[in-house]
């Protein structure tokens, strides 16, 4: 952790120092998770779905496909097969009844006629028969569930029926008449469903939250018009399709819809997310095509948010856009690449994330790749010199964590940002193949209220300026490429927000999860906008702060989770598990993992961003446990590194950063053992721990 002098950076010293069925409305209810499938599904697919935590299969039942000709009998064969297979696998089917056959369509053109609702009296009557027959076949006591000697059925009747899909789009009936026509369709559908199966419930057809301009009404606008026609009695739950470029946008879209319900005294209505998704390519949609890793990250972030806000938004089910990639469709340019599996059946990273979150069992232990070079890192106590970087590279250092301080880059309020020292650090790590983890922190003397609930606009401007300079499209890398045309840029993929915010030394005068959440939210909003692919890591929390004003890491994290929206503002939890022994490290990890599990956030990874011991014995009881001899420091480093590697999957540990690289020159008053925690003496003389670090990092070599 930083001493007061180092934290203020008055002398320019930049250091990271240390001191040691469907859910009820109950608060504990977790949403049911599902996927969308528009075609038949095999037993193998259903088995894979069930193992991965899929509770719900959202299935299209297309009227034109079931009754292609007016006089033709209903063709249920494919749907029968899918519904019975799902029942055998223990997967709930939620169908959406959709489409108008050509013989019942009122328009003469081609293309979107089938998307329009039946409008003539004869067509509406035919729709009633279609709905009634479907419910009579698949609902409670339905014909499909009547066993025979030859083919006994495992009964799993359909209880929830979605009426249509995307009725707020212009292709349904236009902006002017869409709500009126859908209210009528909803009413006659609900009447038929109630007659056949009084216990069944109606769910609105999925409403894209923010259609493209001219392509329909927003979900909130459409819902308001619908409720003005007293349609609230015709449905039990709304269904929303958030078409969001970011998780914060998704949050805003759901909030607007829930506000409409509250305004109409319908806050008791449930919410279905049917569906949410992003494409794994980069070209099919400028907003929703985010690549393989972006798809995984956004699934994880959005599911975490929806789980955390499940009670407030009354969420029953969260359904992903597609189970598997398929052929391109005219109706949706990106959906065919939004599957959790490729078209060939090969799983994508997003499927692993879905499985970890939806499974509800202990998280899968195979999602972390083998520890690569970047697993092991160091946190220098001083700006690294060229010699430092050469020695780091030789020792197998894969990651360097360093301060990116607001105070050091903007000396006066509203003044220019000075990036000289950070430019040197970013250039050095790129030239030596080391991954950077900048720590955004620093309280300027001219903004003393930053950690006391003050104005955060200046902080937001600093974060944006840092991203603009060092992000993937940053100006620094343009200049770097000109000077080093044969060296790849190294923009940060992870940004850490603050340092030991649960200790008063770094969040004066008293740590506050509420105030930190506000700073975190401002930071996340900027980072998500400027670099949506970047990950946000919480400031490393001191496991057990020694002063009474500090908050234990697990308690701080638990209180942070209790704050609305905070869970969506970070991707990684960081810990500084300073301890006398390995048992102390374990206790601190169990504390934060318990807080994460209680918040439904077991899928999130962790990172040790500081850990170390001194190489000089200290007889004082409060410091003795953090101190060793020269050889004792090396032995403890080796045993702690091996211990954490052995628990890497259990704790979903992404990396281990040793504090510190080289003993600092300045005396560290607040942290006596920090003075000698380096792998090298200040004069670059290696300690035995340097060789121990080198051997440990070699275990992670590619």
User: What is the spatial distance between Cα 467 and Cα 518, in angstroms, rounded to a whole number?
Assistant: 19
Sign of CA dihedral 486, 417, 498, 244: negative
In sequence order, what E strands does 219-286 have?
A: 237-241, 270-276
pLDDT value for 701: 59
Helix ranges restricted to H, 532-660:
553-561, 582-598, 621-624, 630-646
My answer on whether omega of the bond before 166 falls inside 30° of 0, hence cis, is: no
Q: Are 536 and 247 in contact (CB under 8 A)?
A: no
What domains are defined for the chain? 32-358 (3.20.20.80)
User: What is the spatial distance between Cα 481 and Cα 72, in angstroms, rounded to a whole number?
Assistant: 68
**Tokens matching residue 259:** 């506000």
- What distance, in Å, lies between the first and last C-alpha atoms of the chain? 31
Give phi and psi for 657, each to the nearest 5.
-115, 125
The count of C-alpha atoms lying within 13 angstroms of the C-alpha of 620, restricted to the half-sphere facing its C-beta, is 7
pTM of the model: 0.75
Phi-psi region of 133 (alpha: psi -120 to 50; beta: other; left: phi over 0): alpha
Across the strands, what pairs with 656? Answer: 376, 608
pLDDT value for 107: 67
pLDDT value for 236: 96
User: What is the spatial distance between Cα 636 and Cα 639, in angstroms, rounded to a whole number?
Assistant: 5
Helix ranges restricted to H, 144-246:
170-196, 219-228
State CA 377 to chain mean position distance: 25
Give phi and psi for 146, each to the nearest 5.
-80, 110
pLDDT value for 369: 66
H, E, C per residue of 314-375: CEEEEEECEEECCCCCCCCCCHHHCEEECCCCCECHHHHHHHHHHCCCCCCCCCCCCCCHHH
Q: Is 550 helix (H, G, I), strand (E, B) or coil?
A: coil
CA distances (Å), origin 585, targets 371, 610, 651: 20, 12, 12
Q: Are 532 and 290 in contact (CB under 8 A)?
A: yes
User: What is the spatial distance between Cα 644 and Cα 584, in angstroms, rounded to a whole number?
Assistant: 12
The 10s digit of each residue's pLDDT in 281-326 is 998 888 899 998 889 889 988 998 898 888 899 999 999 999 999 8
State CA 513 to chain mean position distance: 20
pLDDT value for 356: 81
Q: Are 542 and 553 in contact (CB under 8 A)?
A: yes
User: What is the spatial distance between Cα 212 and Cα 93, in angstroms, rounded to a whole number?
Assistant: 30
Sign of CA dihedral 589, 606, 248, 468: positive
Across the strands, what pairs with 627? Answer: 614
513-530 and 553-561 are packed helices; what angle lies between their axes, rounded to 10 degrees?
70
Q: Are 103 and 146 in contact (CB under 8 A)?
A: no
User: What is the spatial distance between Cα 273 and Cα 299, in angstroms, rounded to a whole number?
Assistant: 13
User: What is the spatial distance between Cα 404 and Cα 466, in angstroms, rounded to a whole number?
Assistant: 8
CA distances (Å), origin 599, targets 266, 588, 637: 28, 17, 32
Residue with tokens 């619908």: 226
User: What is the spatial distance between Cα 477 and Cα 500, in angstroms, rounded to a whole number?
Assistant: 30
**Tokens matching residue 482:** 């000109």
CA distances (Å), origin 279, targets 33, 127, 347, 570: 19, 34, 14, 22
**Tokens matching residue 657:** 């950063």
My answer on whether omega of the bond before 450 falls inside 30° of 0, hence cis, is: no
Q: What residues of the chain score a pLDDT lower than 50?
A: 1-28, 150, 152, 361-366
User: What is the spatial distance between Cα 413 and Cα 406, in angstroms, rounded to a whole number?
Assistant: 11
DSSP letter (8 states) at residue 32: E
Query: Among 679, 601, 605, 587, which residue's Cα sits nearest to residue 649?
Result: 605
Q: Are 36 and 323 in contact (CB under 8 A)?
A: yes
Q: Are 608 and 644 in contact (CB under 8 A)?
A: yes
pLDDT value for 109: 52
């Amino acid at each position: 952790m930083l001493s007061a002098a180092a934290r203020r950076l008055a002398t320019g010293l930049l250091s990271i120092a240390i001191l040691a069925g469907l859910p009820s409305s109950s608060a504990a209810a977790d949403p049911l998770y599902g996927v969308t499938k528009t075609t038949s599904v095999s037993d193998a697919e259903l088995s894979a779905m069930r193992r991965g935590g899929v509770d719900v299969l959202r299935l299209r039942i297309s009227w034109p496909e079931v009754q292609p000709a007016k006089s033709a009998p209903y063709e249920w064969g494919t749907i029968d097969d899918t519904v019975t297979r799902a029942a055998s696998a223990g997967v709930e089917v939620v169908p959406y009844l959709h489409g108008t056959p050509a013989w019942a369509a009122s328009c003469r053109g081609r293309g979107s006629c089938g998307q329009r609702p039946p409008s003539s009296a004869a067509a509406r009557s035919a729709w009633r028969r279609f709905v009634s027959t479907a419910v009579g076949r698949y609902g409670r006591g339905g014909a499909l569930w009547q066993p025979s000697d030859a083919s006994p059925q495992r009964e799993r009747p359909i209880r929830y029926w979605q009426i249509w899909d995307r009725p707020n789009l212009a292709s349904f009936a236009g902006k002017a008449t869409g709500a009126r026509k859908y209210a009528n369709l909803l009413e006659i559908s609900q009447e038929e469903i109630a007659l056949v199966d009084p216990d069944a419930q109606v769910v609105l057809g999925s409403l894209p939250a923010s259609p493209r301009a001219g392509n329909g009404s927003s979900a909130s606008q459409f819902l308001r018009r619908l409720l003005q026609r007293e349609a609230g009695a015709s449905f039990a739950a709304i269904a929303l399709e958030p078409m969001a470029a970011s998780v914060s946008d998704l949050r805003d879209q759901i909030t607007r819809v829930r506000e409409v319900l509250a305004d109409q005294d319908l806050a008791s209505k449930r919410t279905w997310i049917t569906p949410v998704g992003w494409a794994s390519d980069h070209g099919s949609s400028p907003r929703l095509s985010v690549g393989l890793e972006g798809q995984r990250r956004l699934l994880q972030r959005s599911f975490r948010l929806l789980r955390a806000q499940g009670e407030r938004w009354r969420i029953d089910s969260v359904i992903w856009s597609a189970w598997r990639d398929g052929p391109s469709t005219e109706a949706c340019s990106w959906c065919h690449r939004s599957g959790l599996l490729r078209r060939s059946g090969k799983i994508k990273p997003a499927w692993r994330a879905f499985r970890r979150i939806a499974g509800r069992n202990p998280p899968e232990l195979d999602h972390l790749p083998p520890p690569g070079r970047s697993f092991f890192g160091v946190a220098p106590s001083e700006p690294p010199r060229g010699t430092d970087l050469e020695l780091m590279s030789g020792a197998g250092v894969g990651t360097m964590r360093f301060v990116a301080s607001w105070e050091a880059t903007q000396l006066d309020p509203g003044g220019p940002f000075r990036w000289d020292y950070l430019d040197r650090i970013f250039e050095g790590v790129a030239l030596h193949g080391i991954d950077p983890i900048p720590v955004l922190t620093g309280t300027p003397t001219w903004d003393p209220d930053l950690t006391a609930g003050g104005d955060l606009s200046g902080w937001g401007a600093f974060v944006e300026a840092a991203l603009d300079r060092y992000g993937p499209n940053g100006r620094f890398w343009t200049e770097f490429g000109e000077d080093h045309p044969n060296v790849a840029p190294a923009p940060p993929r992870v940004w850490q927000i603050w340092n030991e915010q649960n200790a008063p030394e770094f969040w004066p005068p008293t740590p506050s999860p509420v105030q930190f959440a506000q700073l975190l939210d401002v930071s996340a909003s900027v980072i998500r906008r400027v670099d949506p692919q970047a990950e946000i890591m919480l400031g490393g929390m001191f496991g057990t702060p020694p002063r009474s004003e500090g908050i234990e890491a697990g308690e701080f994290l638990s209180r942070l989770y209790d704050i609305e929206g905070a869970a969506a503002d970070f991707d990684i939890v960081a810990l500084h598990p300073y301890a006398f022994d390995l048992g102390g490290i374990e206790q601190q990890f169990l504390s934060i993992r318990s807080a994460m599990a209680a918040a439904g956030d077991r899928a999130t990874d962790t990172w040790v961003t500081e850990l170390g011991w001194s190489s000089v014995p200290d007889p004082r009881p409060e410091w003795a446990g953090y101190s060793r001899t020269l050889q004792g420091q090396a032995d403890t480093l080796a045993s702690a590194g091996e211990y954490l590697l052995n628990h890497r999957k259990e704790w979903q540990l992404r990396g281990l950063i040793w504090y510190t690289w080289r003993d600092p020159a300045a005396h560290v008053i607040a942290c006596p053992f920090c003075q000698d925690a380096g792998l090298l003496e200040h004069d670059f003389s290696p300690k035995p721990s340097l060789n121990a670090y080198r051997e440990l990092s070699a275990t992670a070599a590619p």
